[in-house]
Structure 1
Amino acid sequence: MKTVKMKSQSELNEELENYFSNTIIPQLFVDANLLLQKFTPPAMKQFSLKHEFIGLPIQDIKEHFRYPTLIDNIKVVIATGKILEKEIQTTDLRWYQMNILPYHIRRENRTNGVIITFVNITNRIQDLKEQEKLIAEYELLLDTIAHDIKNPILALDLTIQVLNRPGKNAEQHATLLKNMASSIIEIKKVVDEMAGAHWNKERYQSVEELLDLQNILEDVRLTLAPQIMESGAIIKQEIDVSEIKFVRRKLRSVLFNLLSNAIKYTASDLRPEIVIRTYAKDNFMVIEIADNGIGISKEDQLSIFEKFRRAKVEVEGTGVGLYLVYTVVVNAGGKVTVESEPGKGSTFKVFLKLKDT
């Protein structure tokens, strides 16, 4: 029978030493007493380790790893003998794939420490975040397009209903036909943008430009002309700050949804009265839209910015408008607030960062 020669402890230590000297990724060997016994040269660079740290308790040098729960993770692996794998972010904002493997001495049937491997995945995490951002932007784009194409269709439907009512004179007919033409132009614009986004990805990217808020408001007012005429809405403007650097379609969507809601959520026996104010505050442009509508309860105010959540189901809508407003503004570093009481109207305030132009 062939005799298998067991390797001596010195031979095992030499192999371990050779392994750590030639490994090209950051790796540590911490023994069962939580003393740092070995580390690879890349670990010296990544975590500024020094040879004199060998033999020191990991507790004394834990700041070099900039990961607060490292010692607790090591203790768990030593106690359970199970591998621990996790993605971690250190306090210097780098990301690592950390693997903690139990170091077994088989002939003694015990765990004599752990080997810890760190693989820098910062670039991968950043790429994933960029992809998530693009996906979120694309989803927001789809929601916006679906919402934008619905609005002129509703305006067309409303105009046709008004046209079918008896007693219209030539001037009223001309106004209504103009509203229909405007709605058709809006639908064509959205369809063209959809096609452009498909064939030319640059076309629908979020490109900021210097905008005049009053021009955007006029565009929105023309789009809402059928609703304004049907409701008899009175819209006043008090514009102190007009210029802002923002994405045109997004600012238009924010204003459209807030104004459309202000008209829509008004008691049937009242004429909508809306005041639009803008002013500067703490390096923000504040767009304030106040109405005399039906108001929103405190309870409903907690959920109105959630997707598909609607405070009043008896009023036609999809529950997407305020979600789009909130998402666009927050993603741009701003915020949206609401002050309202049932029966006393609502005031929405949009805070948009003022940037160097």
Structure 2
Amino acid sequence: MTVSPVPGPLRSLPPATALADLLAVSMTGIIYYTPIYDPADSGNIIDFCFEYLNPAAQRMMRMPEVPTVTHNEQWPHSKAHGTFDFHVDAFVSGEPREYNINYQADGYDNYYRLAARRSGDGLWVSFTDTADQPRSPVEVALRAAQAAEKAARAEAEAQRQRFYEVLMQLPAHVAVHEGPNQVFTLVNPHYLRVANGRALLGQPIRAVWPELASHGILDELDRVYQTGEPFIASGLPVQADFTRTGQLQQVYYDFFFLALRDGQGQITGVLNFSYDVTGSVRARQQIEQMNQELETRVLERTAALQESEARFRIMADAAPNQVWAVNPDSSIRYANQAFLDFVGVSLEQYVATGWAAYLLPEDLALAQNTLETAIRSRSLYVLEHRMRRHDGQYRWLLAQGAPSFYANGELYGYVGSAIDITELKHTNEQLVRTNVDLDNFIYAASHDLREPITNLVGLVEALQEQLALAPAPTDPLVPRLLAMIEQAVARFQLTIAQLTDVAQLQQAWELPAEAVDLRALIESVQLDLGSKIEAAGAHLTVALANDCAIRFAPKNLRSIIYNLLSNALKYRHPERPPLVQLRCYRASDTLVLEVQDNGLGVDKVQQARLFGLFQRLHTHVEGSGMGLYMVKRIAENAGGHVRVQSQPGVGSTFTVVLPVQP
């Protein structure tokens, strides 16, 4: 077999091979040390150097045969456990020494039996590890009990530490008083701050806060310590010298005192938990004071309102139109005499029944919802509805109301009026029928006149051809008369076209709105104007923002864009090619269309006439004077508007603003 090298000192001891074999097979751990001395004091041993570990020691210590660390580096807690001193004593005395220890540190947790003896300049140590041998049931039970006790101590210490951290971090004043003198043994940072530099730990509370004796607080601490019964108080007034200037300051605290006990249940101290509630107490006091003042004001205001309402009723009863008032919950508050005469009941009866008995079912729901919506939004109430008069006839009323407020901004209710518009609605209905008849007439006239005027044009052209074929010269007056006839026919055709445009404009107002692909619509208009754009040598640029979405009647929107772009080409400046820009963008809840050109432009006087019906400011090009009129009417009928900025000789910018419908 292979024999391990024998340490230097063994080589002089015969027989060396037999000793090496003995160390190799020994079931006891063997370590050979040499001392390390203090450089400043050669007689003072400060550590031991490992020279050799037999195989048993290597296995039990989990170390190599010749470790590179020292004894104290391997076992830093050796001095605390006494094992290092045991080694020093054995080496210095030269006498055999034994030592038993339960070493629980540095990654070890076992019972060790050590025997040491100096040999020359070295120290032999023999040891056994109980973990390396079977343990007795008693030892196993003992170690299990020790482990459980250690774990319990660790858990108790962890809980104590967590409890301590909670107390230190609580946003309240926490202190622990121990013994019958209530001595401070623990205070958290919040308590230290309110103590304002006072020495607390180790001091009785009566010495620290003598001014609290007159408040009964200290007596309550003593009572809790003596009886074990907790003490709880909310918003307790306290006067103390918090600034340490000799001036007492009034504050309010919530207190909680709890008895602390030891393992045998004996009271050892008191937990003092307090919280400064001065802000909330004073706020509550202010609220109570404000409530008292408010109650006084309400009483005063009620008397003033009663006087004002009495004057209002006198004035309202003298008014010829119907006057009404409702509460914030929409219930009837008041109706003037004209209103009561209309429905034919007393005020008490009308307040009791409300207006439900006097409105048609289809009008009642609308009227109630409209009024409640106005009250919620504090907006104006406007509605046309039918109401039964005292003679049983339902009349149309225009009701309008506005919110009324108290001086503090609280809603008092709604006050409004109502007028009978039955005759007005009948008149409007007659006008609508008349307008329809007029539209039909215009359409029929423009349609029926087209054929005779076309025939007249044909006759004039035939007459011109016959005159051209005549062998003899005609009277000079004839060509002039024919030219005059042609001009009259042209004016007649223009009038018919204008009548057609008016009829189409009336119909355009009734077109339904739908989602419009604005980019595609503009491209379609560009195609229609393609020949005119090319003939004029114009350059058209289009800039559409990403949010240019709108619901509109496509035909009406096309008419707006077509007329604006057509005018930009038609009224171009003769000395430069037309530059036309079409822009579209969102502004709040509106869509803005802008058409800018570098054309002729118009002055301020002309701008005032620009959107009038049949208004033509430039006569050198064809036109009916209807285009801008139609643009303006279409925009205004949709709830929008049109404006123009122009400078003669420079150009114009037309802006159309349209509301964006949901």
**Highest Rg: 1 or 2?**
2
Query: TM-score w.r.t. structure 1 length?
Result: 0.50
> Whose RCO is larger (CA < 8 A, sep 6+)?
1
Query: TM-score w.r.t. structure 2 length?
Result: 0.28
